[in-house]
Structure 1
Amino acid sequence: MTAHPRLKIKIQIHSGDEIAMGPGKADLLDAIREHGSISAAGRAMAMSYRRAWLLVDVMNRCWDAPLVQTAPGRAATSGARLTELGEAVLAHYRALQDGIAHAARGPDYDALAARLLPEPRASQKD
């Protein structure tokens, strides 16, 4: 049985030249919500703290209010959490992803899948 071709649509929302939201940033927000810190979220995603922090910094600079609020230190109130806007942006982004995934199933996908080879040819001359 031949597997159906994989269709991947990646949504990126830009603010100027920066990617304000994309699939990786949405996953990072989910991980921050789950783990309560940028470092723990980064570890869960096999990402360095620096990389995770830089992604949070970009998101916080691209929207009209921060998506992630941080509190340094070792107190019970330290760590990171999604702001109300962060929760809303994440929910809207996930809804957009779901809507596009649903729209991507149908006759147009079927027409493309019917013509797509399971593997590329070794050469254009084959």
Structure 2
Amino acid sequence: MRVTVGDVIAIGPGKIALLEALDATGSITAAAKSLDMSYRRAWLLIDETNKALKEPAVATAAGGAKGGGSALTDSGRALVALYRQIEDSALAACKTDIKRLLKLLAS
């Protein structure tokens, strides 16, 4: 599922996967690496997501003596949970049609 705002994909599977990876690692760098993505690409996707939301999904702390870090906000956690819930509901509702669609694909 993708949610667009104008020409921008505000929310989609890649952004949700990135938010989940960031939540697991606590770092944009580590999240990007886990998804085989550049730091810059990850940062741009997070920035785009934060700008599309009323409240940011990710809070970041600048590096320093103790290092930086990033974390999902309560809004970010709610976004990921709701996205996955919608995905599960859609899959359940469309199960028969998805099976029919998969039969059309080359194996």
Both structures adopt the same fold (TM-score exceeding 0.5): yes
Greater relative contact order (Cα 8 A, min sep 6): structure 1 or 2?
Answer: 1
5+ residue gaps, structure 2: none
Corresponding residue of 2:25 = 35
TM-align CA RMSD: 1.9
Corresponding residue of 1:23 = 13
Corresponding residue of 2:92 = 102
Rounded Cα–Cα distance in structure 2 between residues aligned with 1:118 and 1:102? 23
Trace 1:83-122 onto structure 2 (pairs within 5 A).
83-106=73-96, 108-112=97-101, 116=104, 118=106
TM-score of the aligned structures, taking structure 2 as reference length: 0.89
**Runs (4+) of structure 1 moved beyond 3 Å?**
74-77, 108-114
Percentage of matched positions with identical amino acids: 44
TM-score of the aligned structures, taking structure 1 as reference length: 0.76
Alpha-carbon spacing, 1:105–1:54, altered in 2? closer, same or farther (3 Å): same
5+ residue gaps, structure 1: 1-10, 120-126
Kindly indicate which of the two structures has a greater share of residues assigned to helix.
Answer: 2
